[in-house]
Structure 1
Amino acid sequence: MAMIFLALGLVFIVEGLAYVLAPSLVERLLQMMRQLGLNERRQIGAMAMGLGLVLLWIAHLLGA
Structure 2
Amino acid sequence: MKLLVTLIGLVMILEGLPYVAAPESMQRWLRQILVLSPRQLRRLGGVAMAVGFLLCYLAQKTGLFS
TM-score under structure 1 length normalisation: 0.88
Q: CA RMSD in A?
A: 1.7
- The percentage of counterpart residues that share the same residue type is 34
Structure 2: which 5+ runs fail to align? none
Which position in structure 2 is the counterpart of 1:30? 30
By relative contact order (CA 8 Å, sep 6+), the higher-ranking structure is 1
Q: Would you say how many aligned residue pairs link Structure 1 and Structure 2?
A: 64
User: Which portions of structure 1, spanning 4 or more consecutive aligned residues, are displaced by more than 6 angstroms?
Assistant: none
Q: How do 1:1-64 residues align onto structure 2 when only pairs under 5 Å count?
A: 1-61=1-61, 62=63
TM-score under structure 2 length normalisation: 0.86
Structure 1: which 5+ runs fail to align? none
